[in-house]
Amino acid sequence: MFPSAVIRKLANSEEMLAETQNFVGLGAHVKGPVDIDALSTAYDALLEARPVLTARLERGADGRHQLVADDLLPAGIEVVELDDPAAEDPPLYFDQYTSLVHLRVTIRDGQAQPTLYVHHSLADGHHMYTLIEELLSYYTDLVSGGGIRRLNAEAAPESIETVLAERGIHKQRRSGIERFMPAVFAYDLPPSRRATTGVKAPSPVRVPIVSCQLSERHTDSIVALCRAQGIGLTAMLSAVLVKAEWQLRGASTIPVPLIYTVDLRYFLSPPVSATGCTNPVGLATYLAEIDRKTDVVELARDIAQTFKADLADGVIQQSRLHFSPQYVGNAPGLPDVVLLSDNGLVPPVRTPPGLEVVSTHGELYFDVNDGIEIYFTQIYAGRLNVEYHSYGANPERSVETIHSLLCALAEQHATSGVS
């Protein structure tokens, strides 16, 4: 046994992620040669600079989880070589009581693809992008011959509860979920796509994923439309998603509930650094009542106005003090909720000459194997990407519908002179 020391107990917002053993992965699709030894050294540097990544979880006497540090370091970089370009990646095994981080490099057709995995109680998407950026920056220094600069160990990130309390933000009467009350037990609903058996898997398993990507031209047109209309990209993508879901659900009179994450780093004062908090996100809600006359742009405008009102009232900032994002299952009596996490425009990462990150992808792991359904969106290298993580029966149809709506929107407003 190795001696261990408690770093801190998990807050409520983090405890849920420990109960489902939720790991998130961020993969970098690169073009060009990768020096595995240098990448391994860069990974060691990342762990040295971010020692909390070498921690693990442990249940305390009260049954709650806590972060602990010990002398047992995580395993080094894992390299998987696949001769068959169509072969599936071998499964990953995660155990939060042993390690909270893992780096796998898959070599397919001679091209390496690194994917970093971190327990979700430690990091959200914005946080993960920063870790990848740091990893590749260290790698760039190494292969460029300059060596890695002296590293200063960063403190463990705080919980959102601590960050909000330090800024005088406290729990209010409203959570935002009240917006869904008119739709609860008000309709004769089909069986939920997000029904869950509640059966735990032996270890975290990967949620199935399908995705689509817009061309640079269509992406530019969507972004230009948002700018011309003064509507944020998240609101526009939210409108497209709920319109697509309405079509997929038979174009009925049943409204479509929407929950989307809000990166509070851009709205808190003093600001929160990229890695200073584990999951500094708020949750915005909207109940979309759609018919055949509904215009996507006007729907996006109303979503944006609702967001601004809730932000002005402080509802979004304190929403996580009421509840955490429940990826698993759906509230009883409520139409299936559309969950969206939009990462927006992701800046390029630093790489050495001859190596380029051309795209990225996300992965989700839970110790359940049903009831999960969430969309992730981002723009990287000039192209909008939509990922759909779902156990649904026909996720390809959902992505095809979304892609069709986005392309039609882009074409419509490109020809009208908006872009």
CA distances 222 to 134, 229, 361, Å, are 30, 11, 21
For residue 227, the model assigns a pLDDT of: 96
State yes or no: is 120 an active-site residue: yes
- d(Cα 108, Cα 390) in Å, to the nearest integer? 25
pTM of the predicted protein model: 0.94
For residue 109, the model assigns a pLDDT of: 84
For residue 393, the model assigns a pLDDT of: 86
For residue 419, the model assigns a pLDDT of: 40
Encoded tokens for 45: 């540097």
For residue 1, the model assigns a pLDDT of: 47
Residue 383's Cβ-count burial label (10 Å; 0-12, 13-18, 19+) is middle
Nearest CA to 226 out of 413, 404, 377 is that of: 413
- d(Cα 114, Cα 131) in Å, to the nearest integer? 12
> What would the DSSP string read from start to end of 313-359?
TTTTTTGGGT-----BS--TTSPPPEEEEEEEEPPPPP--TT-EEEE
Give me the catalytic one of 119, 120, 126, 361: 120
Domain 170-200+207-356+370-415 architecture: 2-Layer Sandwich (3.30)
User: Tokens 């996720």 sit at which residue?
Assistant: 395
Strand partners, 69: 5
- Give start-end residues of each CATH 3.30.559.30 domain in the chain: 170-200+207-356+370-415
- Give start-end residues of each CATH 3.30.559.10 domain in the chain: 4-160
CATH class of 4-160: alpha beta
For residue 317, the model assigns a pLDDT of: 96
> What is the residue-level pLDDT of the chain in tens, covering all 419 positions?
455 799 999 999 999 999 999 999 999 999 999 999 999 999 999 999 999 999 999 999 999 999 999 877 778 899 999 988 788 889 999 999 999 999 999 998 888 999 999 999 999 999 999 999 999 999 999 999 888 887 889 999 999 999 999 999 999 999 999 999 999 999 999 999 888 887 888 899 999 999 999 999 999 999 999 999 999 999 999 999 999 999 999 999 999 999 999 999 999 999 999 999 999 999 999 999 999 999 999 999 999 999 999 999 999 999 999 976 667 888 889 999 999 999 999 999 999 999 999 999 999 999 988 899 999 999 999 999 999 999 988 999 999 999 999 999 999 987 765 44
- d(Cα 387, Cα 359) in Å, to the nearest integer? 13
**DSSP count for the chain of H helices, then E strands:** 8, 15
**DSSP element (H, E) containing 13:** helix 12-19
The residue count for the chain: 419
